[in-house]
Amino acid sequence: MDLRPFHLAIPVNSIELAREFYGSKLGFAEGRSDEHWIDYNFFGHQLVCHIGEASSFSNEVDGKDVPVPHFGIVLEWEQFDVFSEKLISSDIKFIIEPYLRFKGLPGEQKTMFFKDPFGNALEFKSFKHDSEIFNKSLT
């Protein structure tokens, strides 16, 4: 089965601020837009920022306060390091700074969380072994 690009629409309160954050800071290529929405190439997927309002809560995962809802992408192992360095050099304020979780266990992964200027939470992660992305066992 070929993996098809997903489409995700998120709320923002300013198209120009979305353009600055997703386009300039994160470096995502801009697609179509008008005064109410803007498309981005999100690692080959379609991310659309629409004028609207966000809401959130959190759950504890691995001893950390993880924001819900959140979205992101599973990057390649080395790609995670390159992208996290880009974020650090762009002065992104992390909710959860880049770190390695479940070290040496099935599902070993790098993860990081931050919010965009509109309160939408993003998680970027990478599994040491992609075959463990949907692994049910953490031990």
Instruction: Tell me what percent of the residues of the chain surpass a pLDDT of 90.
Output: 64
Question: Mean pLDDT over residues 104-112, rounded?
Answer: 91
Q: Where are the alpha helices (DSSP H) in 29-134?
A: 77-89
Residues 48 and 63 in one domain: no
Tell me, yes or no, whether 110 and 59 share the same domain.
yes
Tell me which residue range forms the domain holding 28. 1-53
The verdict on 90 and 114 lying in the same domain is yes
In the chain, the percentage of residues whose pLDDT exceeds 70 is 96
Task: Summarize pLDDT for 45-61 with one digit per residue, the tens.
Answer: 999 999 988 777 787 87
Residue 39 sits in a domain whose CATH number is 3.10.180.10
61 and 28 fall within a common domain: no
| 117 and 134 within one domain | yes
Q: What is the model's pTM?
A: 0.83
Report phi then psi at 132, rounded to 5. -100, 10
Do 40 and 60 fall into the same domain?
no
State how many domains the chain has. 2
Pairing state of beta strands 121-127 and 70-74? parallel
